[in-house]
Amino acid sequence: MTFEQGLAFTILGATVLMFALDKLRYDLVALLSLSAGILAGLVPPDKAFHGFSDPVVVVVAAALVVSAGIERSGVIEHLMRPLSALKSPDALIATLVALVMVLSAFMKNIGALAIFIPLSIRLARAGGIPVSQILMPLSFASLLGGVMTLIGTSPNIIVSRVRMDLTGQPFTMFDFTPVGLGICLAGIGFLTFAWRVLPHDRQGSASGSSFRIEDYLAEVRIEAHSPLIGATVADLEQLFSGGTVTVAAIIRDQGHRYVPGGHWEFSENDVLVLEGDPMTLKPLLDSAGLVLMGGGGLGTADTTVMEAVVMPNSILIGSTAARSALRRRHGIALLAISRGGRHMIERLRQTEFKAGDVLVVEGNGEAMPGTLVQLGCLSLGQKAMPVARKSAWLPVGIAFAAMLSVAFGVIPVGPAFFLAAVSMVLLGCLPLRDAYESVHWPIIILLGALIPISDAMKSTGASDLLAGWLALAASQVPVALALGLVLLASMLLAPFLHHAATVLLMGPVAAGMATKLGLAVDPFLMAVAVGAASDFLTPIGHQCNTLVMGVGGYRFGDYWRLGLPLSVIVLVSGTLLILTFWPI
């Protein structure tokens, strides 16, 4: 091992460690990795920003814009209307899972999932199915569906770039379809029945048009006339609220927060952090002389209370209700918050928002939906399905034309989707501001920063050295097992690295390993793509899993119930399908 190779492995190891610890955002970790590569002399200064001009970055950004245009058109919601006729839980979940897979093959999976979450909540409530048993299968289905096409998920796009570097020919639009479709069919068969292993008690009974989730936090102040003055915590929890509310904390003594015992007595101007169903707050406020700290009264003539989930690209992430001035700037008040069932006792206005948080907000009924969209939040309430006008089909036509032009080799994928994205804006399918907001810039930063590091691994020979070690180990086992180990390694890395980073790391190594073994490169690249896209074990590895965590009330360990057997199915079926369609 040379000194440069040692430096490359050191930077790589530190990058992987920082990704795994999850103390810094993944785009910042990527920038630090690039900085280290520059300072160590592994990345030439004149090529430090070469990654940002790489075609794969343009393809990912353009595909996100095209996906946003389709999402905004309302066509998908219009086509989903017949689903309300499905009564059997198995038939409903199988249909939803299949539709999410198909949609995820042609648009970003987080967008496809976001379209189906409100619809699934309505259908689940109508069919008496706990929401916690339907949303995780949809999240996993969105990940599986992305494997079917080149643009379905960023790992496929990056693997195509690796193949271009190695052979001069990238993967085409539907090269992934035979393997991806087979995996999706196996996934549908499993998810149609396996949803029963998920918890069914994480959701309260629905009330009116509101979808109820346990473990919300809300802040209230005890007024001078309140009958709670002199009463105890136990009195509030049992007598006044009937056991529906828990006092998570009391804030008094100039802002000090206490976790009270049942015998603690209340005083005037105490601020209580209450945990429970927000729909029980209104009668409790009236009967106990409490004032909600978040805003005006609940349910007045010109206001409405809505529930919304914080999307991964929301401008609220990392901010608080106080810093973002929700009421002053946006005209809405934060009433309560839920975070994946975790018990939180922070001050409500001082709690930093995270992706997947479910918020209860109050504001003007007409302006609220638009405001939530601007903030990057997905409304969970009942919403009318837009009518698909003729012009609404234009984004679908543009995307379809781009895919056909790539599939028939008329134009490469980068220029095709760049032109499609420009057409979306030029023809009024998507406002320019929305187009910029649809690009998930942290992913773009991650790709642009890590591509030079990946190139440095190859230029120093570090990738070949690692591939040689793996090839030596793989030479002792059957070829099918070696291929399965590559898929498994990519699958295990994905929850800790970003899936794009996993491909940038594993792609060249897997290709080098195949070359040293005298085997075809394509099957091993396919294994990397499938493994990196199959993150079913944690809620933090992929945005889709994070998004449904709060809405479904899931705990961290819930993902293993459904995700572990699904991972085994993908591992086995993926390996067999790759060997079938891609000769070794």
Per-residue model confidence (pLDDT) at position 384: 40
pLDDT of residue 340: 63
Of the candidates 58, 54, 56, 78, the residue with the CA atom closest to the CA atom of residue 66: 58
For each of the domains in the chain, give its residue range(s) and CATH number, in order of start. 3-204+399-581 (no CATH), 213-292 (3.30.70.1450), 303-379 (3.30.70.1450)
pLDDT for 418 equals 93
Q: Which of 104, 57, 158, 102 is nearest to 526 (CA)?
A: 158
Q: What is the pLDDT of residue 133?
A: 87
For residue 1, give the DSSP letter.
Answer: -
**Residue matched to tokens 């003594």:** 253
Residue 406, Cβ density class (10 Å: 0-12 exposed, 13-18 middle, ≥19 buried): buried
Q: Determine the Cα–Cα distance for residues 370 and 364; give it in Å rounded to an integer.
A: 10
Rounded mean pLDDT for each run of 10 residues along the chain, 584 residues in total: 87 86 83 94 90 87 86 73 75 91 88 83 80 90 93 89 87 93 96 88 42 58 88 83 76 82 88 74 76 55 74 85 78 75 57 84 77 84 46 83 86 90 90 85 88 87 81 82 91 81 87 88 94 86 81 82 94 96 90
**Burial class of residue 396, CB neighbours in 10 A (0-12, 13-18, 19+):** middle
Instruction: Give the model's pLDDT for residue 438.
Output: 82
Q: Phi/psi of residue 495, each to 5°?
A: -65, -20
User: Are 59 and 417 contacting, i.e. CB atoms less than 8 angstroms apart?
Assistant: yes
Question: Are 314 and 355 spatial neighbours (Cβ–Cβ below 8 Å)?
Answer: yes
Q: What is the pLDDT of residue 209?
A: 37
464: tokens are 């070949």
DSSP state of 266: B
Q: Name the DSSP letter for residue 174.
A: T
Q: What sign does the CA torsion over 82, 563, 534, 17 have?
A: positive
The DSSP secondary-structure symbol of 236 reads I
Residue 106 CA to residue 342 CA, distance in Å, equals 34
Q: What is the DSSP string of 128-162?
A: T--GGGTHHHHHHHHHHHGGGSTTSSHHHHHHHHH
Nearest-angstrom CA–CA distance, 520 and 515: 7
CA dihedral (34, 530, 102, 203) in degrees, to 10, reads -80
Q: Per DSSP, what are the bridge partners of residue 309?
A: 358, 378
Secondary structure (H, E, C), 365-376: CCCHHHHHHHHC
* Alpha carbons 48 and 475: distance in angstroms, whole number: 36
| Strand, helix or coil for residue 188 | helix
> Distance between CA atoms of 431 and 410, rounded to whole angstroms?
28
**CA nearest to 566, candidates 523, 543, 534, 528:** 534
